[in-house]
């Protein structure tokens, strides 16, 4: 709504850009574009009939370290902050706005191309909206849109109603904060779920206050993580429920102001979107496992294992890269967890080694399943990954990971998965790194990221304990 309200009035051909986490964004690398779609002529065309929006993570938006996922202690260190502003007006690009953005990033050519791709997606979206209206008419299109919202709400209410009424509480910890001046091993996210008929309240009261580091998550992230969990439940009970505002109408989310789940500017938030969101999912699913013990799986890896790095190539050109890494999925009541995959709030794909080595001065020395890292149980948790990256030039890297000190939990008697590890290998000598760390790299250095395994589900049978070597 910030994009619409702050840039009104919007006219045909306008596109608003923003990334400010406190004005509708999530964290600074996520750049959002919003554009209106006008239909018809005369009075009918005075207000937008639809909006097209896109959000894309950009590999660098400036800030204190390449990749813009630094160990920050305030928002200003994380990159350029873009409030809602028109980047295109009446179909013409505001070159000064674009120039300002590109001047504040390390890889302007990439950012120019990515923004062009987003703008092209908006043109396609607007064209598709027009095609639907031409085919069915505006009134019928809007009527079916309203019907789709109602259908989704009914599906979610049906799923919630299938759960036993009651209160279900769960808490989990985050690893130490990214601010090295104030490490804190007691960072809790607490949730109490109240199921009453066909409605659900998720209350995060008791969650730790906002942090000095970057694990703070703005309200939109927390709500998205909760809605993700609700969407999973709706799919299990409510059939093919579409994802829209109606899906989440029966859900109320309570977040204490000033907590790490509702910080105030200029608190840093780079890690909140990628790491804290995962722990919110773990906590909500942990509470749901009490209500639905035969449905909810154990905790998955609970991190995105964010790696950013950058520097200068031999030809003098800059490079910056960001990737997330898969790990173990939690086991469920009917099967073991998958190994080496992205889970929950991550939803990104593997970067092929060939493409990575072609584009950047690195070599991937090892990429394998981290065997025996999943938790034991009647069904085993999935195993994590091992990814060893050798740097062929000097570079600066930042690792922003979780589940390095707190393990992914098992449920219904299953064991926890193994925590992850970050290791620097320099001249053959291994050195353990913190879960959140910035490191200067020399040619020949190897970063080894060893991702967590998923938790196990259920007590292991006697046969399994003997097979796994856990009994005499």
Its sign, for the CA torsion 72, 74, 75, 79, is negative
Tokens of 151: 């259908």
Q: What pLDDT does residue 390 have? A: 98
Q: Which one, of 355, 421, 353, lies nearest residue 389 by Cα?
A: 353
Q: How many residues does the chain have?
A: 472
pLDDT in 10s for each residue of the chain, 472 residues = 788 889 989 999 999 999 999 999 999 999 999 999 999 765 556 789 999 999 999 999 999 999 999 999 999 999 999 999 999 999 999 999 999 999 999 999 999 999 999 999 999 999 999 999 999 999 999 999 999 999 999 999 999 999 999 999 999 999 988 786 665 568 999 999 999 999 999 999 999 999 999 999 999 999 999 999 999 998 888 678 889 999 999 999 999 999 999 999 999 999 999 999 999 999 999 999 999 999 999 999 999 999 999 999 999 999 999 999 999 999 999 999 999 999 998 878 888 899 999 999 999 999 999 999 999 999 999 999 999 999 999 999 999 999 999 999 999 999 999 999 999 999 999 999 999 999 999 999 999 999 999 999 999 875 565 555 544 3
The structural domains of the chain, with segments of one domain joined by +, span 2-136, 162-292, 297-472
Spatial contact of 439 and 397, defined as CB atoms under 8 Å apart = yes
Residue with tokens 């780079």: 270
DSSP annotation of 105: S
Spatial contact of 440 and 396, defined as CB atoms under 8 Å apart = yes
Q: Which residues lie across from 169 on neighbouring strands?
A: 192
Burial of residue 8 (number of CB atoms within 10 Å: 0-12, 13-18, 19+):
exposed
**Gap between the Cα atoms of 338 and 383, Å rounded:** 7
- E-strand stretches of 99-198: 166-174, 187-196
Spatial contact of 192 and 241, defined as CB atoms under 8 Å apart = no
**Gap between the Cα atoms of 279 and 412, Å rounded:** 19
The predicted model scores a pTM of 0.94
Spatial contact of 13 and 82, defined as CB atoms under 8 Å apart = no
Report which secondary-structure segment, H or E, holds 146: helix 138-161
Spatial contact of 414 and 375, defined as CB atoms under 8 Å apart = yes
Q: What pLDDT does residue 468 have? A: 59
Residue with tokens 């009035």: 9
Q: What pLDDT does residue 271 have? A: 96
Spatial contact of 54 and 32, defined as CB atoms under 8 Å apart = yes
Q: Which one, of 390, 295, 285, 264, lies nearest residue 343 by Cα?
A: 285
Distances (CA, A) of 221 to 7, 8, 254, 461: 23, 25, 13, 39
Q: Which value, in Å, is the radius of gyration of the alpha carbons in the chain?
A: 23
**Gap between the Cα atoms of 412 and 333, Å rounded:** 9
**Gap between the Cα atoms of 50 and 130, Å rounded:** 10
Distances (CA, A) of 34 to 88, 96, 131: 10, 19, 19
The H-assigned helical ranges of 296-365 are 353-359
**Gap between the Cα atoms of 68 and 57, Å rounded:** 11
């Amino acid at each position: 709504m910030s994009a619409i309200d702050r840039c009104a009035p919007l006219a045909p051909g306008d596109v608003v850009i923003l990334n400010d986490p406190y004005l509708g964004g999530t964290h600074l690398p996520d750049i959002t574009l919003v554009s209106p779609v006008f239909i018809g002529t005369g009075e009918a065309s005075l207000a937008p009939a639809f909006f097209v929006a896109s959000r894309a993570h950009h590999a660098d938006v400036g800030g204190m370290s390449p990749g813009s996922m630094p160990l920050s202690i305030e928002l200003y260190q994380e990159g350029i902050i873009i409030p809602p502003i028109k980047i295109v007006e009446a179909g013409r690009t505001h070159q000064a706005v674009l120039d300002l953005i590109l001047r504040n990033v390390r890889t302007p050519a990439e950012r120019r191309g990515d923004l062009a791709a987003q703008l092209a997606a908006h043109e396609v979206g607007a064209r598709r909206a027009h095609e639907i209206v031409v085919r069915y008419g505006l009134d019928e299109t809007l009527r079916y849109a309203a019907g789709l919202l109602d259908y989704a709400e009914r599906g979610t209410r049906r799923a919630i109603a299938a759960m036993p009424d009651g209160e279900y509480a769960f808490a989990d910890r985050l690893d130490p904060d990214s601010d090295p001046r104030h490490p804190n091993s007691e960072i809790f996210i607490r949730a109490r779920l109240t199921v009453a008929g066909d409605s659900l309240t998720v209350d995060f009261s008791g969650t730790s206050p906002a942090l000095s580091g970057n694990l703070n998550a703005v309200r939109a992230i927390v709500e998205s993580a909760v809605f993700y969990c609700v969407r999973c439940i709706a799919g299990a009970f409510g059939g093919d429920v579409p994802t829209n505002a109606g899906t989440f109408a029966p859900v109320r989310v309570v977040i204490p102001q000033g907590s790490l789940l509702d910080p105030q500017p200029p608190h840093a938030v780079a890690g909140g979107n990628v790491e804290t969101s995962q722990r919110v999912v773990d906590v909500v699913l942990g509470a749901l496992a009490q209500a639905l013990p035969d449905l909810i799986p154990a905790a998955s890896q609970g991190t995105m294992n964010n790696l950013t790095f950058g520097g200068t190539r031999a030809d003098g050109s800059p490079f910056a890269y960001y990737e997330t890494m898969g790990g173990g999925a939690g086991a469920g009541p009917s099967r073991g967890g998958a190994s080496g995959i992205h889970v929950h709030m991550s939803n990104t794909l593997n970067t092929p080694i060939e493409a990575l080595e072609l584009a950047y001065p690195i070599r991937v020395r090892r990429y394998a399943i981290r065997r025996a890292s999943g938790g034991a149980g009647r069904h085993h948790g999935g195993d994590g990954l091992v990814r060893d990256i050798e740097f062929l030039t000097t570079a600066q890297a930042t690792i922003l990971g979780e589940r390095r000190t707190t393990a992914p939990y098992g449920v219904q008697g299953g064991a926890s998965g193994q925590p992850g590890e970050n290791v620097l290998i320099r001249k053959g000598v291994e050195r353990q790194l913190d879960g959140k760390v910035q490191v200067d790299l020399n040619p020949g250095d190897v970063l080894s990221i060893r991702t967590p395994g998923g938790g196990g589900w259920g007590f292991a049978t006697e046969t399994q304990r003997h097979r796994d070597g856990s009994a005499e």
